[in-house]
Amino acid sequence: MRLRHIPGAEETIASSPYVIQEPALHKGSWNQVFENDHPIEIEVGMGKGRFIMELAQKNPHINYIGIERYSSVLLRGLQKRAGLELDNIYFLCIDAKAMADYFAPGEVNRIYLNFSDPWPKDRHARRRLTSPDFMAVYDQILARDGVIEFKTDNRGLFDYSLEAIPQAGWQIKAHTFALHHSPMNKGNVMTEYEEKFSSMGNPICKLVAAREIPAYDKE
């Protein structure tokens, strides 16, 4: 992915009160950052942040962390954040592959993956956010009963995910190839891309995944 460099983006991010600068220091103690014990939900690849900020507005009883590795993109999110009165959301400018360095086992309750880069070439499959490599990262930080929600308009990536996620030892709890015409659309919060692509007539796919828990381990 090639993005336009925005002069001063790094400096703005480094001085923002909405961005946690040394997240590794808070591994296992994010409840102290938020000053409460509310559940934590993460969006990986938050883009301009519309989705996660709307969730934060709708759910003050949940803590949100938006992850975006590209400073020029995160900058746009910070500009939106400045106009909102919220105390339940922070941002991280990190590579999602390193999330286990910043969150303790079981510290995250839900992970959102929205319209991520499909990386269509086979040699880049490991970069897809639903690849077994990334699922292994999520497994390290997600609570035992935690879930992953994934949305995309890319049918090839969705078909890949329907195969790759179970192969990584997870269950597909629900899925649809036409979210906006599905019962799964109830309470749906749209991203910028979702609104754009759906207005063009592109069907939106969604799945919800959770770990496979052995029968003997179920209570």
Domains and CATH numbers, the chain: 9-217 (3.40.50.150)
pLDDT of residue 216: 42
pLDDT of residue 212: 77
Question: Widest CA span of the chain, in angstroms?
Answer: 56
Instruction: Let me know if 187 is exposed, middle or buried by CB neighbors in 10 A (0-12, 13-18, 19+).
Output: exposed
pLDDT of residue 209: 98
Distances in whole angstroms, Cα of residue 187 to Cα of each of 43, 55, 179, 180? 17, 10, 11, 11
pTM: 0.93
Annotated catalytic sites, by residue? 117
Edge-to-edge strand list for the sheet holding 40-44: 89-92, 63-67, 40-44, 108-114, 142-152, 205-211, 170-176
pLDDT of residue 3: 53
Using 50 as the pLDDT threshold, list the residues of the chain that sit under it. Answer: 1-2, 215-216, 218-219
